Amino acid sequence: MSQETKFLLDTLTKNLVLKVMEEFGYNIPDAMSTVYNSQLYEKILDLETGLYFQSAGYNYQLLRQELLTGKIS
């Protein structure tokens, strides 16, 4: 994995954690656990999906849907 890709993944993950904290009122460890254990995070790590390259807002809508319904469409 290139340094640029790692940077994009780290930045996206940080932004997702912050958004979960903001919307759901989670503390840092709970928000991190939520993101890291999500189906979306698995898909983000699969570089072939291209999700790591999408905006935090786009990915957060997918994560939010997963958290509220239990699945990503």
pLDDT digits (tens, 9 = 90+) for 26-35: 999 999 999 9
pLDDT digits (tens, 9 = 90+) for 8-60: 999 999 999 999 999 999 999 999 999 999 999 999 999 999 999 999 999 99
Tell me how far the alpha carbon of residue 57 is from its chain's centroid: 10
User: Within 10 A of 51 (CB to CB), how many other CB atoms are there?
Assistant: 18
- What is the pLDDT, as a whole number, of residue 73? 66
Look at the chain and report how many structural domains it folds into. 1
Q: Higher pLDDT residue, 19 or 73?
A: 19
Range of the domain at 17: 3-69
Helix ranges (H only) for 1-73 are 3-24, 28-36, 39-45, 56-69
Cα–Cα distance, 63 to 22 (Å, whole number): 14
Position 28, amino acid: I
Tell me the pTM: 0.92
